Structure 1
Amino acid sequence: MALIVCPECGRGVSEKAVTCPQCGYPLKEPAAPAPVVAASGRRPKRGWGFEWRTKAELLGLPLVHVAIGRDPQTLKLRVAKGIVAVGQFGFGFVTIAQIGVGLLFGFGQVVAGLAAVGQVALGVSFGLGQFATGTTAIGQLAIGTYVLAQAGVGRHVWSGTVRDPDAVEHFTALWSAVKSLFGLG
């Protein structure tokens, strides 16, 4: 068994000792506590990700807030909250998120807002997505007043089986407006 010298009292101490038996001086860092294991048997994920926000605020919210991942102290998922919110989860006037609410506009996997574009787009005025809702709804499955869909429910529907003249006129005018916006005709 090898001996080391205690830096405090100068006596010989076993290299395996955590503290000096003579003076109590700590010789090694205490071992890290065993990781917490959830009831499911899985360890909770450590904090990871990224968070950034502007210093400038409007209505008590940062102009831009980007939040991705988990907070390292609480291990809670970060939520982006700002005028423009970007993250896995977001809430703002304009939101780009996996799951989010954009009061004016939302873009993401599951989003809601006045206008929404996403896989599941829950729009009030406009929705574009695989599943979409809104006054004007465009999607594979859509619900709204003016509906362009493979399968749709609404007052004016244009689908593979239904061709309401008001829906055709509405979406033709909408397409013309989009083309002129991008200078395509």
Structure 2
Amino acid sequence: MKPCRECGHTISEQAPVCPTCGVPYPARERWDGWGFEYKSQATLFGLPILHVCFKFRPNRVPVPAKGIIAIGQFACGGLTISQFGVGVFSISQFTIAGFALAQFAVAYSLVAQFGIFLHQGRGLLVWSLADIIRRLQ
């Protein structure tokens, strides 16, 4: 038995929630959310070389992966592998990128099911941004 880190009520070490105050995992000294996160110690330009993050904060807000190589549900970086991504090179379901492989994309160059590109694009329904602007005039 241990005291809850918030209210001090005695609880089991395996308790998922404090019965008094409702704090999640009350026996742990520190708890910063649900899920998995790995950040490499090595950095480049202030970003970790690798950041893998499938995590939610205690207030249930997702934590984005930010790094040279970023992998997660939400990701931002040089190479992103994600559901929602922003990056130079991106493999995502939804992305804004320089070069993209995605279901929905806005990119300089892309391969996508649906997308808007600046230079070159391949896919089911992809359009050049220049063509879209031309048609609007």
If the length of structure 1 is used for normalisation, what is the TM-score?
Answer: 0.52
**Residue identity in the other structure for 1:132:** G
Distance (Å, rounded) in 2 between the aligned partners of 1:35 and 1:131: 45
Q: Is the contact made by 1:136 and 1:145 (CA closer than 8 Å) also made in structure 2?
A: no
Is the aligned partner of 1:64 residue 2:50? yes
Aligned residue among 116, 131, 135 for 2:100 = 116
CA RMSD across the alignment: 2.7
Task: Please name the residue that 2:66 is paired with.
Answer: 81
Aligned residue among 139, 163, 176 for 2:123 = 139
Deviation, structure 1 residue 35 = 5.0
Q: Percent identity?
A: 34
Task: Please name the residue that 1:51 is paired with.
Answer: 37
**Residue identity in the other structure for 1:66:** V
Distance (Å, rounded) in 1 between the aligned partners of 2:129 and 2:95: 19
**Residue identity in the other structure for 2:83:** Q
Q: Which has the larger radius of gyration?
A: 1
Aligned residue among 16, 25, 29 for 2:10 = 29
Task: Please name the residue that 2:77 is paired with.
Answer: 92
CA-to-partner distance for each residue in 1:41-77, whole Å, 9 max, x for gaps? xxxxx94210001100001000000000313x44321
Distance (Å, rounded) in 2 between the aligned partners of 1:97 and 1:121: 12
CA-to-partner distance for each residue in 1:133-165, whole Å, 9 max, x for gaps? 22111121111179xxxxxx57xxxxxxxxxxx
Distance (Å, rounded) in 2 between the aligned partners of 1:142 and 1:121: 9
Distance (Å, rounded) in 2 between the aligned partners of 1:110 and 1:65: 19
Report the structure, 1 or 2, having the larger strand content: 2
Q: Which runs of 4+ in 1 moved over 4 A?
A: none
CA-to-partner distance for each residue in 1:104-127, whole Å, 9 max, x for gaps? 201110011110111002111x11
SS in 2 for 1:32: coil
Relative to 1, partners in 2 of residues 1:119 and 1:108: Cα closer, same or farther, differing over 3 Å? same
> How many residues in Structure 1 have an aligned counterpart in Structure 2?
110
- Structure 2: state its 5+ residue gaps: 1-8, 12-17, 24-31, 133-137
- Which structure would you say has the larger RCO, counting Cα contacts within 8 Å and 6 or more residues apart? 2
